[in-house]
Structure 1
């Protein structure tokens, strides 16, 4: 059972103080409705999990495709709006952007009994679909830990349910020994959730995948290795590092690219 609380704010009709109360302090974009609330999940027991949804306030919401946004380590659901300002591109792309708290669990099942990946697929995604009335294919977009998570969850759902995936500065490692402390429980956990595994790259090759990474990013070499494993992927290695400025500067073009992928379906 998922328990939901919800507050609704329409950009341009409420003040900044109200948005701050909701935990969403990014710029208010004209023509965008922002909702925030919380849910509970058996996959993250004892936690009120905050979520946020930004969608065009005009037109049929059921025709506005959903982009599930996964934050990086140390982030939360507000970062898609407060840090990356993705809401600024919602009206122009006619996309619904939805984000949710994921802690630092790297969006997969952990020994601690938490599985934020399952929470996204089994609890949050159905919630967003109920909120919006949209029932078609979805997309994923994430940065750092969330870039890895976006690739992982897209490989689980596959092309029947996923239209495209964007992974920005994805936190990737080619071997268990290179991974950061806390990203995986052990080598077996790494191997079970390795996006380089043939069974996962086989699925990802069937999807439009966009990989963006700065040349000064510590994950540049691993992201480039994944691009080689996915020869049909769109890969950009440009100026920048593992920073919020880099991620924010790419938000508009990434959502535009996702819009193009939806339009092809």
Structure 2
């Protein structure tokens, strides 16, 4: 039996500081550990993270799913509100979430780049913490659904094996985006996941889109599925709510595992 222990990890890359683990929320066979990091991409911020990992069983580390929260959320929401840890063992996956503020997971005029923080600081941390060094998957809702598509389009199929974008915050024109999602038109265009260069990359990665028919982003999700016909689009009952996201967590994680097994 392997038991995960709390520990302090000193050192790291690209501005990572000493990381202390604190907190432990359990689901059968799974422990959720919490810690923090510092990053040059988010100056002056103590960025918290969570990792849900099996407490016994597999000899090899399980594949990692990076979970990106929606606007107004934080690293804890994946577990405290959506209870994704309840499905981690059945799907044979490790889940890793991190704070992203309300910066929509890309570089902003304010001097914050939570997308670069994920790639340059959080992913190496997760590798050290879990021992898993392979391709990762992304799962996110609302702002995090957009962020999952964006980061996967940057990293490509060499580093990402699957993406789930749930109720993704997607707009086809800069003038229709929510206040605060982008700094200006140029920012929108630089990070537009509808752009052909990005959809061309995403076409090489299994992508799943889930959206409720009553969700305000349903039109954007339908439009995105048209420019990325390889994506699996599911439209069902529900809105832009935690209840919708929570009810889809188990099937989504099982789908991610299926994509990993098909590699």
TM-score, with normalisation over the residues of structure 2?
Answer: 0.93
2:57 to 43, 59, 72: 59
* Residue 58 of structure 1: how far off its partner (Å): 1.5
Q: Which residue number in structure 1 is paired with residue 172 of structure 2?
A: 174
C-alpha offsets along residues 208-253 of structure 1, whole Å, 9 cap, x if unaligned?
A: 0000000000000100111111111110000000000000000000
Q: Which residue number in structure 1 is paired with residue 245 of structure 2?
A: 247
Q: Which residue number in structure 2 is paired with residue 184 of structure 1?
A: 182
Q: Which residue number in structure 2 is paired with residue 87 of structure 1?
A: 85
> Aligned pairs, how many?
249
1:219 to 2:237 alignment: no
Q: Which residue number in structure 2 is paired with residue 100 of structure 1?
A: 98
Q: Which residue number in structure 1 is paired with residue 3 of structure 2?
A: none
- Could you tell me how far apart the structure 2 residues matched to 1:61 and 1:118 are? 31
* Maintained 8 Å contact 1:195/1:201: yes
Query: Bigger CA drift: 116-125 or 52-61?
Result: 52-61
* Residue 193 of structure 1: how far off its partner (Å): 0.1
Query: Is there any run of 5+ residues in structure 2 with no aligned partner, and where?
Result: 1-14
* Residue 63 of structure 1: how far off its partner (Å): 3.0
* Aligned alpha-carbon RMSD (Å): 1.1
SS in 2 for 1:257: helix
The correspondence of residues 193-204 of structure 1 with structure 2, limited to 5 A, is: 193-204=191-202
- Could you tell me how far apart the structure 2 residues matched to 1:123 and 1:62 are? 23
SS in 2 for 1:212: strand
Q: Which residue number in structure 2 is paired with residue 158 of structure 1?
A: 156
- Could you tell me how far apart the structure 2 residues matched to 1:61 and 1:117 are? 31
* Maintained 8 Å contact 2:21/2:36: no
TM-score, with normalisation over the residues of structure 1?
Answer: 0.92
* Maintained 8 Å contact 1:4/1:37: no
Q: Which residue number in structure 2 is paired with residue 110 of structure 1?
A: 108
Of Structure 1 and Structure 2, which has the larger fraction of its residues in helix?
Answer: 1
* Maintained 8 Å contact 1:109/1:117: yes
- Could you tell me how far apart the structure 2 residues matched to 1:61 and 1:217 are? 41
Q: Which residue number in structure 2 is paired with residue 12 of structure 1?
A: none
- Could you tell me how far apart the structure 2 residues matched to 1:50 and 1:63 are? 22
C-alpha offsets along residues 15-57 of structure 1, whole Å, 9 cap, x if unaligned?
A: xxxx4xxxx6xxx311002110000000001000000000111
- Could you tell me how far apart the structure 1 residues matched to 2:204 and 2:152 are? 11
* Maintained 8 Å contact 1:147/1:171: yes
Structure 1: 4+ residue segments shifted above 4 A: none
* Residue 151 of structure 1: how far off its partner (Å): 0.2
Q: Which residue number in structure 2 is paired with residue 208 of structure 1?
A: 206
* Residue 62 of structure 1: how far off its partner (Å): 4.1
SS in 1 for 2:222: helix
* Maintained 8 Å contact 1:147/1:169: yes
* Residue 61 of structure 1: how far off its partner (Å): 6.6
